[in-house]
Amino acid sequence: MKPSRLLSLTLAVAPLSPAPLTAQATAEILTPKPSAEPRINGPKIFGVRPGSPFLFTIPATGERPMSFAAKGLPAGLQLDPATGRITGTLKERGTHDVILSAKNSRGTAEKPFRIVVGDTIALTPPMGWNSWNCWGGQIDQQKTLAAAQAIVRHGLDQHGWTYINIDDAWQGKRGGPHQAIQPDPKRFPDMKELCDEIHGMGLKVGIYSTPWVTTYARRIGGSSENENGDWTSPGNGPKTVNKKILPWAIGRYSFARNDAKQWAEWGIDYLKYDWNPIEVPETAEMEKALRESGRDVALSLSNSTPFQSIGDLSKLANCWRTTGDIKDTWDSMSKKGFTQDKWVSFQQPGHYNDPDMLVVGHVGWGKPHPTNLTADEQYTHISIWALLSAPLLLGCDLEKLDDFTLGLLTNDEVIAVNQDILCKQAVKVAGNDKRVVFAKPLEDGSRAVGLFNLGDQQESVEVKWSDLGIHGTQTVRDLWRQKDLGTFADGFSAPIAPHGVVLVRVMPSK
């Protein structure tokens, strides 16, 4: 095929409307259905600390039943061939190169997988679900379990979605053998049983806390004004949050070690640690407490991390919120997603800039409704988060996933951009206020490139190979459609709908 200079790609353009269009009104499902043949998805690398419990479930699509194997699995780990679940403990530091395989009646798939036993965990961005943007302060054990069951029922775990994270409002009083925060017995009658059930599905569990005396939802926090950790609810009076005024301030007595021990005994895998301003001493204290708990717990800081402290904070935390809370509007999502360039130098494997959770599907902070983002805006949302290698945490009602939303969440070529082992954050390489191009290098030497139209009218967006620091004829692949578009000598362009995107992979032509 003779290479073209530029591509004119025909895309569906949403009609103009005076009111925001729902996803259902304009939804075009671009993601092809998975093949019946086996395909192993998810990350190529996994980090674990010496002596910590190991849990990794091989994410694979394809016709069931399916059997799994792992060649080169180190001693201390075991694989369940029926579920693809790898468990056990590795005591010695080191790197193990494994070949994962999945087999069904249609064939066999293999994938290289590296296990790194060392100090760094979360070697690719966390993927999962968080309760807040769906249920707000109404979370309970039944809703949490239902979310985990929905992950499995919809097959999202086959694409790498792993964490089920409980946000604020789970807390009761302090007590137990560790004088730690105990769950509200009306909401979470048995936290250990819940964690065991979720782990039994091959998934992981997250929880929420703060170093303040009181959380944003007016629940008990991780510090107190007295050594017993006694606490009285501040009630529903005016909030004085973010001002270091009690009860939204750090108490004289910290219970970080107490709480970390309790979370480890329950089986917690992820902590959202939420206060403002985020400061180094409390972060370092909790990071140390989690390490000493005997369990790998990813530490995620929230919210609005101060840029002047990020040099120190980024060495301690696995994720840190670079923004305030997201809402399901174009203004909120786009301002967060397209303003991350200044943070780029602090991101590396195991440490991620976090522009907040995803607001696709049914969201609503206690009253779920279809997202106010249009279909094109949702493609843009997932695309820029994937390019940023940001944590992917769903904030929607997982029991109300329609085919369009499932298509957004199950495109393995898009997810692979997010999970690439380099964990590079995309940056703006071309464009203006309305037409922008973000790009990042991938492990295999190719480039992931997003052409975005931030304006309100259809626009043609172009990327030149010189913008990417490459030259020569390149093959361009549409990642949402999982389709090669051809070879191009100098660059690539496409007409793009308002607030829309074309996400491609650019690689040298053979």
Angle (nearest 5°) at CA 238 between 236 and 240: 120
Kindly compute the dihedral angle of the four CA atoms of residues 425, 430, 436, 441, in this order, to the nearest 10 degrees: -30
Q: Which amino acid is at 361?
A: G
Cα–Cα distance, 331 to 456 (Å, whole number): 12
β-strands 352-354, 204-209 pairing: unpaired
Query: Which tokens go with 40?
Result: 């192993």
Say if residues 385 and 358 touch (Cβ distance below 8 Å): yes
**DSSP per residue over 45-62, as a string?**
EEEE-TTSEEEEE--EES
Selection from 408, 355, 399, 398 nearest residue 377 by Cα: 408
**What letters, b where the CB count within 10 A reaches 16 and e where it falls short, cover 203-212?**
bbbbbbbbbb
β-bridge pairing 447-453 and 435-441: antiparallel
Residues 388 and 452: their CA atoms lie apart, in Å, by: 14
DSSP 267: T
Beta bridge mates, 365:
none
Q: Which amino acid is at 377?
A: E
Residue pair 371/402 in contact (Cβ under 8 Å)? The answer is no
Residue 245 forms beta bridges with which residues? 248
Give all strands of the β-sheet with 392-394 in edge-to-edge order.
352-354, 319-321, 298-302, 270-274, 204-209, 163-165, 127-130, 392-394
- The residues that are catalytic are 274, 325
Start-to-end C-alpha separation, the chain: 12
For the CA atoms of 359, 362, 365, 366, what is the dihedral angle to 10 degrees? -170
**CA pair distance 56, 146, nearest whole angstrom:** 21
Distance CA 286, CA 135 (A): 26
Question: Over 70-102, what HEC string results?
Answer: EECCCCCEEEECCCCEEEEECCCCEEEEEEEEE
SS3 408: helix
What whole-number distance in Å separates Cα of residue 139 and Cα of residue 366?
9
Residue 263, both tokens: 């979370």
Q: How far, in Å, CA of 375 to CA of 378, rounded?
A: 5
CB atoms within 10 A of CB 80: 13
